[in-house]
A and B are shown apart, each in its own frame.
Chain A
Amino acid sequence: MDEVFRALADASRRSLLDRLHARNGQTLNELCDGLAMTRQAVTKHLGILEEANLVTTFRHGREKLHYINPVPIHQIGERWIKKFERGKLTALSELKRQLEKRDE
Chain B
Amino acid sequence: MSKPEFIYTTYIETTPEKLWLALTDGDFTERYWFGHRVASAWEIGSPYKFSKQDETTIAGKVLAFEPPKRLSYTWDNQKTDLKHERSSRVTFDLEPRGKVVKLTVTHDNLDEGGKTFRDISGGWPMVLASLKSLLETGQPLPPMSSPAAQG
Contacts and interface: CB of A to CB of B under 8 A. Distances in A.
A40 B125 CA distance: 30
B150 A71 contact: no
B129 A74 contact: yes
B126 A65 contact: no
Given A25-B4, A25-B5, A71-B10, A56 B104 contact: yes
Interface string B97-140: 00000001010000000000000000011101100110000000
B7 to A, nearest CB: 4
Contact of A91 (B106, B141, B142, B147): B147
Bin the interface of chain A by size.
20 to 34
A91 B124 CA distance: 22
Interface string A12-51: 0000000000001100000000000000000000000000
Interface residues of B, number: 26
A70 B125 contact: yes
Contacts of A56: 7-9, 104
Select the residue from B9, B126, B141 with max chain A CB neighbours within 10 A.
Answer: B9
Contacts of A75: 129, 132-133
B141 A53 contact: no
Interface string A48-65: 000001001010100001
B4 A71 contact: no
A51 to B, nearest CB: 12
A87 B133 CA distance: 21
A15 B145 CA distance: 29
Select the residue from A56, A69, A74 with max chain B CB neighbours within 10 A.
Answer: A74
Interface in B6-38: 6-11
13 contacts: A24-B5, A25-B7, A53-B10, A53-B11, A56-B9, A56-B104, A58-B4, A71-B9, A75-B132, A87-B145, A87-B147, A90-B145, A90-B147
